[in-house]
Amino acid sequence: MVKINDGLIEDTIRSALAKSMNISSKDIKVKSFNGIVSMQGFVNVLAEKNKAEEIAYKVGGVKEVRNNITISLDGDTTDKELTDLVNSNLRNSVFKNRILSVTAKVSGGNVLLVGDVETERDRQIAISEANKTFGIRSVVSTINLASFKDDASLTNDVNMILMQSKINVNDISAIVIRGKVTLSGYAEKEEDINRLVTIIQSVPGIKEVNNKLKLHTIETGIS
């Protein structure tokens, strides 16, 4: 029977957090039991909470991540002030020309994004910019995609993008159903996986990318 090395999982996650998030990870506590990881502590922005969970899921042997990290809040900041801050982040983003029609409304520290964009990548950019706002608890997107193509056309577009990516995609397949792409198979590097997801999100008409890609070799907490 495969044995889960919880100590190795915890050490690997802590090391990855420190490397990727630096001082932002100092107040994050990590505990693993049979591969189920619990994360507690404090961070300043939602983007950091999401990043910590993403890092934990990349460690081999992790079955589930229970993210109980709390966002540090300034109790004197009103929803109107937070709304202004989020919209300011959107308008001052380096990608502002891609998310011009997106606006935010904050209630109870929770952000609702509305508007229209051309691609799924643009939608993810808007969510990411909102996540960077200090004091935000969560971000919900109701952003619409302006572009529409049938699945056959989208499949052709995605496969063309894969072939032009200069990444080894011989062991990768993409299936499009109702505008949603599922990527499966194996990639050589974590950077390749992130790059492929990003470029496919940029295909007009793609609504969502379900990333099931795995690395040929990964760190593991299984012994």
Residue 93's domain comprises: 79-145
Q: Does residue 161 share a domain with residue 111?
A: no
How many structural domains comprise the chain? 3
Residue 223 lies in a domain: no
Whether pTM > 0.75 for this model: the answer is no
Q: Is the pLDDT of residue 1 over 80?
A: no
Q: Does residue 67 share a domain with residue 13?
A: yes
Residue 46 lies in a domain: yes
Q: Is the pLDDT of residue 220 over 60?
A: no
Q: Which of 95, 212, 99, 201 is nearest to 157 (CA)?
A: 201
Average the pLDDT over 32-50 and give the result: 92
Which residues, in sequence order, are CB contacts of 67 under 8 Å at separation 6+?
39, 49, 52, 53
In percent, the amount of the chain with pLDDT more than 70 equals: 95
Q: Is the pLDDT of residue 211 over 70?
A: yes
Q: Does residue 140 share a domain with residue 84?
A: yes
Residue 222 lies in a domain: no
Average the pLDDT over 103-117 and give the result: 94
Q: Which of 208, 121, 120, 201 is nearest to 161 (CA)?
A: 201
Q: Does residue 85 share a domain with residue 126?
A: yes
Q: Which residue has the higher pLDDT, 135 or 115?
A: 115
Amino acid, res. 211:
N
Q: Does residue 52 share a domain with residue 29?
A: yes
Which residues, in sequence order, are CB contacts of 120 under 8 Å at separation 6+?
145, 201, 202, 203, 206, 207, 208, 209
pLDDT per position as a tens digit, 60-77: 999 999 999 988 766 678
User: Which CATH number do you get for residue 122?
Assistant: 3.30.1340.30
Give me the residue label for tokens 């001052």: 92
Average the pLDDT over 97-113 and give the result: 94
